[in-house]
Amino acid sequence: MGTLRVRLPRASRPAGMVFLSVVGLPLVVGNGATPRSAPSGTVRPPARLGMQPTVRVGVSVEQRVIAVSSPAGLRLSDALTGQPAGEVRPERTIRLSAANGLLRVEGDLAMAPSGVPSMVLHPAIADAPVVVDGVPYRGAAEVRAVAGDAVTAINFLPLEDYLLGVVPLEIGPREPDEIAAVEAQSVAARTYAVSHLGGHADMGFDLYGSIQDQAYGGMAVERDQATRAVRGTEGDILMFDDRPIRAFYHSTCGGRTAAVEEVMDREPAPYLRSVSDRAPDGTDYCSASPRYRWSVVWTGNELDRIARRELAAHFGVAPDAFGRIEGIEVVSRTPSGRVANLAFRGPGVDLVVSRLDIRRALPGDARILNSTDFTVARRIDGLVELYGRGYGHGAGMCQWGAIGRAREGQSYEEILAAYYPGAVLVNAYGGEE
């Protein structure tokens, strides 16, 4: 165990949240109470004091062809040996595919590479972007042949630079008085990334560049406000029991967050328990969200068609494997009031689903139902109506709640303390504020 130096809290920091600077304390990689496992020998060592980790992001995964370029040109090298493998002229595009486990390169190259299973592509000039399938990224890229003659592109870059392309997508553009919410989002996103280093090691990267982990848009989505928030919180992460927390977050809680075990197949965590989002004036901090309250209405035929289609896709069977679905019924609720189990009833159908499966089975007007916090009403005209609250899984930080708290003058430290009770705010790089 390393030595811990306690920083004197600023006046704006809330009681109950401790602020520490880590000295010699390794950041143990894991996803909550049980560390995420990966094949032996594939997980990179955990980030340590004074080392901003390099993050590897799967930005174009298992594609037939990937296009790569740079306005500065590219220098190619064999990922296994580091030996030069080719050069690409400025503004010229190459297309990479795979055959028999080796990369195939087509395009205008100054020097053509020989067949290798994995290749690193560095911009010829420092700080120039590498452009993968039309998207510019900081850092460099690796393209590797994967099973089935597919190719995967991986963007690798410093953690703080990665966050510049995450935070704007996850929290959106905010008003000046909402900057604390953007700072809280920066800390949550950084913590999530640190806790997932090595998370997809068998695929060669840490994080998907999509909502499978965190939305990541590279340089094209960077915004000044988010950049200031990331730089202003540099290195700050949340920890519990000497490891980065599972920093889940979601759009709108609807008035109360959920304990993580209510909405996911995850172990309980003290910092992911259900908390109220109620302000002192009796309103909910997230009430400004466009999905704070919502409703969906179906006819009987629409409910049958939608539910059978989505359930069939989820379970991998034909839609006619189910009988006609004539109604849905809430079987049980979680302590925070969300639907824990939902039954689908009809002739030859008696199916109960839970958690995320509920949202997948009833997508409403989007790809997934807004939340599991809803009631079901059967109207006298035969229509089935859902009255709901919030958007997202409901665990961890409520983003619209964070925005509401920022508008009321709360700091990012206060916001994080509200949604991750008991977590410790730590500077992973050991710097003093």
Weakest-pLDDT range from 56-70, 220-234, 256-270, 366-380: 366-380
pLDDT digits (tens, 9 = 90+) for 152-191: 999 999 999 999 999 999 999 999 999 999 999 999 999 9
3-state secondary structure of 271: helix
Mean pLDDT calculated for residue range 36-58? 55
Instruction: Please state, rounded to an integer, the average pLDDT across all residues of the chain.
Output: 85
The alpha-helical segments, DSSP class H, found in 81-213 are 159-164, 167-171, 179-195
Weakest-pLDDT range from 30-34, 283-287, 362-366: 30-34
- Count of residues in the chain: 433
Mean pLDDT calculated for residue range 306-327? 84
- % of the chain at pLDDT higher than 90: 68
Closest of 299, 307, 341, 342 to residue 323, by C-alpha: 307
- C-alpha distances in angstroms, 197 versus 238, 244, 429? 15, 11, 16
pLDDT digits (tens, 9 = 90+) for 233-244: 999 999 999 899
Separation between Cα atoms, residue 419 and residue 316, nearest integer Å? 37
**Is it the case that residue 121 has pLDDT exceeding 70?**
yes
- Give the per-residue pLDDT at 50: 57
- Give the per-residue pLDDT at 365: 63
**Is it the case that residue 5 has pLDDT exceeding 80?**
no
pLDDT digits (tens, 9 = 90+) for 323-382: 888 889 999 999 999 999 999 988 878 889 998 889 988 886 667 899 999 999 988 888
Contact 133, 81 (CB under 8 A): no
Question: Who wins on pLDDT, 222 or 21?
Answer: 222
- Confidence band for 31, pLDDT divided at 50, 70 and 90: very low
Q: Is the dihedral of CA 130, 133, 136, 139 positive or negative?
A: negative
- Give the per-residue pLDDT at 44: 34
Q: In sequence order, which residues have a C-beta less than 8 Å from that of residue 382 and are 6 or more positions away?
A: 299, 300
- Give the per-residue pLDDT at 112: 63
Question: Who wins on pLDDT, 148 or 388?
Answer: 388
Separation between Cα atoms, residue 327 and residue 209, nearest integer Å? 38
At CB < 8 A and 24+ separation, what contacts does 240-244 make? Answer: 240/269, 240/270, 240/271, 240/422, 240/423, 240/424, 242/1, 242/25, 242/28, 243/27, 243/28, 243/30, 243/35, 243/195, 244/27, 244/28, 244/29, 244/30, 244/191, 244/194, 244/195
Separation between Cα atoms, residue 74 and residue 69, nearest integer Å? 7
**Tokens 């639907």, located at residue:** 339
Q: What's CA 311's distance to the chain center, in Å?
A: 25
Hey, which residues does 131 pair with through a beta bridge?
Answer: 69, 136
pLDDT digits (tens, 9 = 90+) for 382-415: 899 999 999 999 999 999 999 999 999 999 999 9
- Give the per-residue pLDDT at 114: 66
Closest of 167, 157, 186 to residue 56, by C-alpha: 157
- Give the per-residue pLDDT at 118: 94
**Is it the case that residue 18 has pLDDT exceeding 90?**
no
Closest of 215, 117, 108 to residue 168, by C-alpha: 215
- Give the per-residue pLDDT at 36: 29
CB neighbour burial string for 21-44, b if at least 16 within 10 angstroms, e if fewer:
bbeebebebbbbeeebebeeeebe
Mean pLDDT calculated for residue range 293-303? 92
**Is it the case that residue 17 has pLDDT exceeding 60?**
no
- Give the per-residue pLDDT at 51: 77
**Is it the case that residue 266 has pLDDT exceeding 50?**
yes
**Is it the case that residue 35 has pLDDT exceeding 50?**
no
Mean pLDDT calculated for residue range 43-65? 75
**Is it the case that residue 45 has pLDDT exceeding 90?**
no
